[in-house]
């Protein structure tokens, strides 16, 4: 029987690598469209169609580009059809009809044994449990695999569920949810077992199981199972996982990524194992903080600058862990409108050095500096915790831990902690109260002794009641409104006229409902 492609006597290096990648990856069978045709889903949400035949076919980019066996084809042969790694069928680019029949016969034999066991088991359950018509969960043997991910239950040790109204077979809870989501997406309404096609269970039962593993999944979500760092060989990768967009299956942990290795290619990253891959910006890894750079560039370096030089040298060699994604995403954002002062000549993003454009979104740091969202997110997420312009700290794990410790002590004594953002002292009611205390002492201290200061301070504090505190808060709120009104007037009225020389008529014609709001 002739082949479309030549018979291979030995396994090639690329095919061997694809087999190794397949064994280190997790896929889910969503649908079987034929005896050897499958729709599978990768752990990162991508879906592929794979066909085993003469020749094999796959919709992944690697197979479309190289026309070489990919990890998806190898995964089906190794996991679904259980082809031994020593079998020459595993490295052929296609299988003739005789070989396909051999695969199917072996698979049918295994399924027949399982179906026979399932049938006997079901009859027994119905006799014992006639009132409920449910079947008991099948015991798990050593070589039992999940029908969706094809992984052995006892090796993965993930939470499992089982078919309650049909065969009693086991399925990973995570796999069942993925399979169920796919069935819903194609219009299926009934919850059917992927093996026997009987009713798998009630929606309430499945929801409860999904919720039970939700907390465990959240804890383990930052661990990327099946991924190993190409440089330090850490496996699995914990924290942020970085994937080369050019090389096949080239991954780095965050520490190695920040060492600027493999910098000839761009990377994508994700912080949680269930998230989609996003672009990772790494150009900033070699940039010096602008504040320190300006400090040294405008004068001669002397012996007092030794500590600064050491700091800059260490910044090039040390891997900085950056800021957690949830903290970065909590920083406020703004949309640039046609009246924004960011369109003024000379204003630009200090990371990419590009001019701002109408409609772009920027993120504002606590120090009030603004940058393109993509630029500053890459800076903060992957390597820095400070502003790239003035070096002010945006977030640190020490501050976060200190605040948590304070919160724990406060909770123990039923004390509420109120944290004010860094702002002008006149906008902080506590600072206003402190200023009032100093003014009271200054006006009433006639003896100019420390004992008089202590007495006057105690007298002021005793008289500072709830009404005085509320007055200080209201005063700060009024000042805040005044400052915001003044800022809006300068940004929206004064600067556009002074910069662009816009006439009064043009100002009047500007749309009042333009998108100049701040999205936080």
Task: Report the pLDDT averaged over residues 152-170.
Answer: 78
Q: Is 493 domain-assigned? A: yes
Confidence of residue 49 (pLDDT cuts 50, 70, 90): very high
Verify that 332 and 414 share a domain, yes or no.
yes
Q: Could you tell me which residue, 107 or 59, shows the higher pLDDT? A: 59
Q: Given a cut of 70, is residue 118 above it in pLDDT?
A: no
CA nearest neighbour of 500 among 359, 338, 304, 300: 338
Confidence of residue 48 (pLDDT cuts 50, 70, 90): very high
Q: Is 339 domain-assigned? A: yes
Q: Given a cut of 80, is residue 216 above it in pLDDT?
A: no
Verify that 235 and 156 share a domain, yes or no.
no
Q: Which of 337-351, 365-379, 396-410 has the highest mean pLDDT?
A: 365-379
Verify that 143 and 215 share a domain, yes or no.
yes
How many other C-beta atoms lie within 10 A of the C-beta of residue 509? 9
Verify that 203 and 188 share a domain, yes or no.
yes
Q: Given a cut of 90, is residue 363 above it in pLDDT?
A: yes
Q: In this structure, what token pair is assigned to residue 14? A: 């690329």
Q: Is 467 domain-assigned? A: yes
Q: Is 358 domain-assigned? A: yes
Q: Given a cut of 80, is residue 338 above it in pLDDT?
A: yes
Q: Is 91 domain-assigned? A: yes
Verify that 84 and 177 share a domain, yes or no.
no
Confidence of residue 63 (pLDDT cuts 50, 70, 90): very high
Identify the CATH number of the domain in which residue 200 sits: 3.30.40
Q: Could you tell me the pTM of the whole model?
A: 0.43
Verify that 457 and 501 share a domain, yes or no.
yes
Residue-wise pLDDT tens digits, 285-294: 444 444 455 5
Q: Label the pairing between strands 237-238 and 241-244.
A: unpaired
CA atoms 83, 86, 88, 90: torsion sign: positive
Verify that 81 and 21 share a domain, yes or no.
yes
Identify the CATH number of the domain in which residue 353 sits: 3.30.40.10
Residue-wise pLDDT tens digits, 221-263: 567 766 788 888 777 787 788 999 888 889 998 878 877 788 8
Q: Given a cut of 80, is residue 78 above it in pLDDT?
A: yes
Verify that 216 and 229 share a domain, yes or no.
no
Domain holding 34, by residue range, is: 13-106
Please count the structural domains in the chain: 5
Verify that 246 and 143 share a domain, yes or no.
no
Verify that 321 and 372 share a domain, yes or no.
yes
Separation CA 267–CA 381 (nearest Å): 14
Verify that 329 and 409 share a domain, yes or no.
yes
Q: Is 518 domain-assigned? A: no
Bin 282: left if φ > 0, else alpha if -120 < ψ < 50, else beta.
alpha
Verify that 372 and 410 share a domain, yes or no.
yes
The crossing angle, in degrees rounded to 10, of helices 450-463 and 429-444 is 130
Confidence of residue 517 (pLDDT cuts 50, 70, 90): very low
Q: Looking at 205, 220, 235, which one is the last position of a domain?
A: 220
């Amino acid at each position: 029987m002739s082949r479309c492609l030549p018979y291979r006597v030995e396994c090639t290096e690329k095919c061997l690598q694809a087999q190794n990648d397949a064994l280190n990856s997790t896929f889910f069978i969503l649908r079987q469209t034929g005896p050897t045709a499958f729709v599978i889903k990768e752990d990162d949400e991508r879906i592929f169609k794979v066909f085993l035949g003469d020749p094999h076919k796959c919709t992944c980019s690697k197979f479309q580009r190289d026309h070489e066996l990919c990890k998806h084809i190898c995964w089906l042969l190794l996991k679904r059809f259980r082809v031994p790694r020593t079998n020459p069928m595993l490295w052929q680019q296609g299988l003739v009809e005789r070989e396909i029949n051999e695969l199917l016969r072996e698979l049918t034999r295994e399924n027949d044994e399982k179906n026979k066991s399932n049938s006997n088991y079901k009859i027994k359950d119905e006799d014992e449990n006639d009132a409920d018509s449910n079947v008991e969960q099948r015991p798990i043997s050593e070589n039992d695999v999940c029908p969706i991910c094809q992984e052995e239950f006892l090796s993965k040790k993930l939470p499992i569920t089982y078919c309650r109204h049909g065969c009693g077979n086991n399925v990973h809870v995570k796999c069942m949810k993925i399979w169920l989501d796919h069935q819903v997406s194609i219009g299926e309404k009934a919850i059917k077992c992927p093996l026997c096609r009987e009713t798998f269970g009630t929606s309430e039962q499945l929801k409860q199981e999904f919720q039970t593993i939700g907390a465990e999944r959240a804890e383990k979500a930052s661990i990327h199972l099946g991924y190993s760092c190409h440089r330090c060989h850490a496996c699995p990768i914990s924290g942020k996982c970085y994937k080369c967009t050019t090389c096949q299956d080239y991954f780095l942990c965050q520490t190695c990524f920040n060492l600027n290795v493999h910098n000839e290619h761009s990377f994508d990253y994700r912080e949680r194992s269930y998230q989609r891959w996003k672009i990772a910006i790494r150009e900033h890894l070699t940039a010096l903080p602008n504040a320190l750079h300006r400090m040294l560039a405008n004068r001669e370096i002397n012996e007092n600058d030794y500590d600064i030089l050491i700091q800059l040298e260490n910044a090039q060699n040390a891997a900085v862990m950056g800021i957690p994604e949830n903290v970065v995403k909590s920083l406020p954002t703004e949309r640039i409108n046609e009246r924004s002062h960011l369109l003024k000549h000379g204003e630009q993003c200090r990371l990419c050095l590009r001019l701002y454009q109408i409609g772009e979104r920027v993120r504002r740091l606590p120090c009030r500096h603004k940058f393109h969202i993509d630029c500053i997110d890459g800076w903060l997420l992957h390597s820095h915790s400070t502003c790239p312009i003035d070096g002010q700290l945006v977030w640190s794990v020490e501050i976060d831990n200190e605040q948590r410790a304070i919160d724990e002590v406060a909770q123990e004594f039923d004390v509420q902690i109120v944290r004010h953002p860094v702002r002008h002292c006149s906008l902080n009611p506590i600072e206003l109260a402190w200023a009032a205390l100093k003014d009271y002492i200054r006006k009433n201290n006639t003896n100019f002794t420390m004992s008089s200061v202590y007495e006057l301070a105690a007298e002021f504090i005793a008289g500072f009641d709830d009404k005085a505190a509320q007055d200080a808060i209201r005063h700060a709120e009024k000042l805040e409104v005044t400052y915001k009104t003044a800022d809006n007037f300068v940004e929206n009225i004064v600067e556009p006229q002074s910069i662009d020389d816009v006439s009064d008529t043009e100002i009047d014609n500007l749309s009042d409902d333009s998108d100049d709001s701040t999205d936080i």
